[in-house]
Structure formats: C-alpha cells, structure tokens
Amino acid sequence: MPTYSYRCTECDNAFDIHQAFTDDTLTVCEVCGGKLRKLFNTIGVTFNGSGFYRTDSRSGGSGSSGSGSSSGSSSSSSGGGTTGGGSSSSSS
C-alpha cells in the first residue's frame, strides 16, 4: 500500500498514512477539523540494467547499421531496418 502525506491548512498538522488506491482521500483534520491537503513529494527511482542510457542504445545501433547498409535487408525488416537505414544513410 502506498504512503500518502497530508497537511492541515489551518493548524499545519502534517502526517503520513498508508492507504490503498481504492480508499477515499482524507479531507478533515483529526486535530482541529480543518481542511486537509495531500502533499506530493519526489520519489526515488533507480533504473537498473541495460538500455536506460544513451550509450547503451548506441552500442546496439552500430551493429544494426552494418546490416542496414544493404538495401535488401533494410527493406525486408521494417522495424529495425528503418532505424538502421536512417543512420547508415546519414553516415554514407
């Protein structure tokens, strides 16, 4: 279950609570009865593995440009040949 942060607009009471996605948003402060606002914070995301950096995709692209230099192979494979054909025609 995700953790949501709330803060009261009147008494500045702040707290975190575990809620399911299907639960309703809290609207009333338990301390003073004022209006609650949901706080949005940054989250930490880590991408592990290959394919997330520009240099990772470049290493795969150099191999496909060699096969893309032949016009017969680039027309037969529409998905990869289009990308490889575009990079090989600019390098020629």
5-49 pLDDT, tens per residue? Answer: 999 999 999 999 999 989 999 999 999 999 999 998 877 787 777
Q: Are 84 and 90 in contact (CB under 8 A)?
A: no
**Domain map (residue ranges) of the chain:** 3-39
Q: Spell out the residues 6+ positions from residue 34 whose beta carbon is closer than 8 angstroms to its own.
A: 8, 9, 10, 11, 28
Map residue 64 onto helix, strand or coil. helix
pLDDT at 45: 80
Share of residues in the chain with pLDDT > 70 (%): 55
For the cut 70, the answer to whether the pLDDT of residue 87 exceeds it is no
